[in-house]
Structure 1
Amino acid sequence: MSKIPVTVLTGFLGAGKTTLVNHILTAEHGHRIAVVENEFGEIPIDDALVLRSDEEFFEMSNGCCICCTARTDLIDILRKLIQRKDRIDRVLIETTGLADPNPVAQTFYADEEISEHFALDAIVTLVDSKHIGQHLDGAGVGHQAVDQIAFADRLVLNKIDLVGEAELADLRERLRGINATAEILTSNYSKVDLADILGVGAFNRIVHPAWLDEQEHFHDPAVNSVGIELDSAVDGDLDETALREWLGRLTAEHGDDLYRLKGVLAVREDARRFVLQGIHRIFELRPAEPWGRDSRGSKVVFIGRDLDRASLVAGLRTCARA
């Protein structure tokens, strides 16, 4: 049986996360979606949408969604979903506005039972177009807002009706300085095409090589991106053992500051592309489809705080010389 895809929805306070959840719950998508509120307290969903119950799970009025609140550990909630007789189609996890999405994302790699049944599909970050600038500039909370943007596979610029075109363009450039690889969507009242945020396979697909094109532009001083590209014909392929050892040391020593790593790699004596995905101290390197007409080579992007470009380039090149 295929794994159940999981979307993590994050964003700073007031960005429109709950409005997006309501949009998903009331949409005619035909899927059974389990919505997990990763916080304590009442479920922040309009009363009209929820059939009241003292139980942890709520059947939604449109008949195709479930909602639960993480009063216990997230892993316990997911295990209960596994045990349900009626299989769900996907899981949506809404984090609190001040949350770091990293611990939630790592759940799907660190726990063997959870990783067997669930697959992290994408991290979607909502951005309040009107107020995000002051959040990014603010002391203390600025780091949380930056972290949420840096982790994203999809950025949804919400409330665009409250800003002008020039302000929106400036915001896009600033976000590109924090996260050069995430696709940027726009919305009002969190109305987005669900196909753009659900089932995108960001953690399970080969990203187009164009994600290296903008790595050097508009860097935010708090977070930077480092893109590295090696041509197999010139630099050589990577030794898999050396690569895994280097990535292990890198994530162990610098995991706190290394938000995301992703890449498409050419491994020596293997006709397949290798896909790299990582979050802080957890990384996955797995084979994918064979190389086609594209030039064989290795492309990697690192996103984090105070990343040392020279050291990262030297480390990756060492794996090609091993």
Structure 2
Amino acid sequence: MGNGLRGPEVPDREQLAMSPHTPQDLVPVTVIAGYLGAGKTTLINELLAHDHGRRLAVLVNDFGAVNIDAALIADHDGQTISLKNGCVCCSIADELGDALDQVLTLEPAPDQIVIEASGVADPANVAAYGQGWPGCRLDAVVVLADAETVQAKSRDQFVGELVVRQLRRADIIMATKRDLVTEAGLTAVTGWLAVTAPGAPILTRRAGQLEPELLLETTQPIDRPRRQPSPAGNGPAEPAFDSAVVEVDGTLDRDRVEAAMADWPESVLRVKGILRFNGAAGGLHIIQRVGRRWNIEPAPNSLDPSRSGTLVVIGLPGTLHHGDLTASLLS
């Protein structure tokens, strides 16, 4: 992967079977993908510098392109940069598996791993590592699309097929450089993205606008919606996202919860929480959803039972209707 020409090989069955971990203690992996020039490195730089309270291990292809303020660096050994906020940035070099093994041995362990995919890689190849590499589990595939150029690139006879395939691998699509297009142009490109990659939530972003809650796994309620500047820069701030805490008492029917996870609209970006099921599938379970993809896993025995009955839901502004979300879990 170091030469940027192809994605890594998918781990084989023997490698995956060797993992001693249970699903609950695996480190979540977020893949940041998108064609060349979509803004991946800019986003990575902002993630590393942001005060988001998480120990991130960020794996990048081009170590020299990461431009970190010297005041934030605690140590730099040539292949790894350690930051004062607890994050580390490592070079993928020639083998993604080796880089993952390296960061998984860090003390203290990272809260989350972020992988910058090559601009010409198929995100599915990179996501295969997050899904199955020993010690890891896939959190999300976030594909960036340059709002100014993505449609033209999708029609290119040489790279168009790759650009479209990258978009269709996404759990979440982020249209970048929104400040370089008009509002009409932004509406047109987001509409095109919705048709090209149906079902994937579509966010928009301008440089300097970072919302870690949308990119990284979260388990904590969010006090209030974050706000981003208005398109003209002089109007009232627009909410970047909404959040809701859905609380339910007692035990729930697993089939009903699975149907709700599948049916909740694309505007629901992330869900994380703990519910108790009745019947043969009873007990505490961890529920997660990112974009269209969701999963339910048994909770560890060490989990505090008082934490059950709560889901943290993050969605597009004005789209989270608390009563409807709750009713869908109970009906």
TM-score by length of 2: 0.59
Kindly indicate whether the alpha-carbon contact (under 8 Å) linking 2:59 and 2:116 is maintained by their aligned counterparts in 1.
yes
What's the CA shift for 1:56? Answer: 2.6
With over 3 angstroms needed to count, the CA separation of the structure-2 counterparts of 1:46 and 1:294, relative to structure 1, is closer
Moved more, 15-24 or 71-80: 71-80
Report the Cα offset of residue 3 of structure 1: 2.0
The 1:5–1:276 alpha-carbon spacing in structure 2 relative to 1, beyond 3 Å, is: closer
8 Å Cα contact 1:186/1:192 also seen in 2: no
User: Matched residues in 1 for 2:115 and 2:288: separation?
Assistant: 24
Q: 1:14 aligns with which of 34, 37, 45?
A: 37
Q: Is contact 1:58-1:66 (8 Å) kept?
A: yes
Aligned partner of 1:66 among 69, 88, 99: 88
Matches within 5 A, 1:2-151: 2-37=25-60, 39=61, 41-46=62-67, 48-49=69-70, 53-60=76-83, 62-111=84-133, 114=134, 117-151=135-169
Q: After superposition, where does 1:226-237 map in structure 2 within 5 Å?
A: none
Alpha-carbon distance in structure 2 between the residues aligned to 1:165 and 1:27: 28
| 1:94–1:285 distance in 2 versus 1, CA, 3 Å | closer
- 1:167 paired to 2:185: yes
Question: Offset at 1:109?
Answer: 3.5
Are residues 160 and 102 of structure 1, via their aligned partners in 2, closer, same or farther at CA, if it must alter by over 3 Å? same
- Structure 1 residues 203-214: aligned runs within 5 Å: 207=261, 209-211=263-265
C-alpha separation in 2, matches of 1:286 and 1:13: 35
> 1:197–1:287: structure 2 CA closer, same or farther, 3 Å change rule?
closer
RMSD, aligned CA: 3.5
Aligned position for 1:197:
215
- The 3 A distance-change label for structure 1 pair 142 and 25 is same
Query: Identity of paired residues, percent?
Result: 28
1:125, distance to aligned residue in structure 2 (A): 1.0
Give the secondary-structure state (helix, strand or coil) at the position aligned to 1:176: helix
Do the aligned partners of 1:180 and 1:211 also contact (CA within 8 Å) in 2? no
CA distance in 1, matches of 2:119, 2:74: 25
C-alpha distance in 2 between matches for 1:4 and 1:186: 27
- Decide whether the 8 Å contact of 1:16 with 1:190 is kept in 2: no
SS at match of 2:164: helix
Matches within 5 A, 1:287-298: 294=328
Q: 1:102 to 1:157 in 2, by over 3 A?
A: same
- 1: distance between equivalents of 2:169 and 2:265? 15
Q: In the superposition, relative to structure 1, how do residues 138 and 125 fare at CA in structure 2: closer, same or farther (>3 Å)?
A: same
Deviations 1:72-108 (A, max 9, x none): 4211111122222221111110012111111111123
Question: Would you say the 8 A contact 1:158–1:190 is kept in 2?
Answer: no
Q: 1:212 to 1:13 in 2, by over 3 A?
A: closer
Conservation of the 8 A alpha-carbon contact between 2:194 and 2:202: no
Q: 1:242-269 CA distances to partner (integer Å, 9 max, x unpaired)?
A: xxxxxxxxxxxxxxxxxxxxxxxxxxx9
Q: How many residues align?
A: 226
Distance change >3 Å, CA 127–CA 35, structure 1 → 2: same
Identify if the C-alpha distance between structure 1 residues 284 and 8 changes in structure 2 by more than 3 Å, giving closer, same or farther.
same
TM-score, normalised by the number of residues in structure 1: 0.60
Q: Distance in 2 between matches of 1:85 and 1:198?
A: 21
Partner residue, 1:251: none
Distance 1:146 1:270, change over 3 A: farther
Q: How far apart, CA to CA, are the structure 2 residues paired with 1:87 and 1:295?
A: 35
CA contact (8 A) 1:8 1:122 kept: yes
> Structure 2 regions of 5+ residues with no counterpart?
1-23, 220-257, 268-278, 299-307, 309-325
> 1:13·1:97 contact (CA, 8 Å) conserved in 2?
yes
CA shift for structure 1 position 190: 5.3
- In structure 2, the CA distance between the partners of 1:29 and 1:133, relative to structure 1 (3 Å rule), is same
- Which residues in structure 2 correspond to 1:145-294 (within 5 Å)? 145-189=163-207, 191-199=209-217, 207=261, 209-211=263-265, 294=328
Mark the CA change 1:25 to 1:285 in structure 2 (over 3 Å): closer, same or farther: closer
